[in-house]
Every structure is written in structure tokens, then in C-alpha cells.
Amino acid sequence: MIRNTRLYSVLFNKCPRCHTGAFFVSKSAYRKNFDEMHTHCPHCGENYVPEPGFYWGSMYMSYGLYVLFMLGTFLLLVVGLGVDVMHYLLGLTPVLVLLLPYFFRLARRSWLAIFIAPDRSGRGTAATGTEVMDIEKNAAS
């Protein structure tokens, strides 16, 4: 039921159009190349970089994710459980650093999912491997 939704592509690192092709090169957010993403979907050929500077908007989404996380943990730990604010802040700093790659990727996937409508037909026009390579070569030049 969630398969053909924007939420599926955001949560499972998939193309927002066909929900099959990978969005980032690496599945793990905690590798050296955590920020490397495909320029086009390996399955349907959807352009992941519609225009230069497109992902500047995802910085604001990332900021919002951090604020929600900090607010939620503050309410839970400081207000709910009575943890000292200084201990909260000292513990929060390394957690935020560790979450950086995850929030970076989540914000980019979310930002693109806003602008690309899912293919609800379920067919997802697949591009051949040579078509995708040609698309990526043309995008690089």
C-alpha cells in the first residue's frame, strides 16, 4: 500500500517516480561516499538533478529535521524525564554529528519527492543500461 507513494521513495532510497531505482550510489549513509547520488534513475531514467542549485532547498528541510529532532528529544528528556539541560546538550552534540549523513540524505530525497510525481500506473518505463549511461554522459558535459 505504501509502495507507490512519495513516502516510500523517501524512506527506502528509491526513485520518486518508479520506486525501483536507487537514489544514492551507496545504500549506507555511513560510508565515505554517503553524499554521492546518481544523476538519473538507473531504472526509469528520471533526472535527479533538474537544475543547478536544485538541492539548496533541501538544506532548509535538513534544518527542519534537526529542529524537530532536538525539540522532540528536549521535550522527552528534559521536560518529561527531568534530565539536566547541560547533560542534555552535551549528549545531544555527538548524536547530531552522527545523524548528519542520515538527515542529509533524507532531506535530499524528501526535497526531490516534492517535485516529482510518482508513476501510479505501476509500469515504470525502464531505461536500458546504455540509455542511462548516455543520459549521465550528456549531463556531465
Q: Is residue 91 part of a domain?
A: yes
Is 32's pLDDT higher than 60? yes
DSSP string across 47-79:
BS--STTTTHHHHHHHHHHHHHHHHHHIIIIII
Q: Tens digits of per-residue pLDDT, 53-93?
A: 999 999 999 999 999 999 999 999 999 999 999 999 999 99
Question: Would residue 1 count as lying in a domain?
Answer: no
Residue 92's nearest CA partner among 76, 73, 65 is 73
Domain membership flag for residue 14: yes
What cell numbers appear for 86 in the block?
547541560
- pTM metric for this prediction: 0.78
What is the total count of domains within the chain?
1
Residue 50 forms part of a structural domain: yes
The rounded percent of the chain whose pLDDT value lies above 70 is 84
pLDDT of residue 131: 52
64 grid coordinates = 527542519
Q: Which domain holds residue 95?
A: 6-140
Is residue 62 one of the residues assigned to a domain?
yes
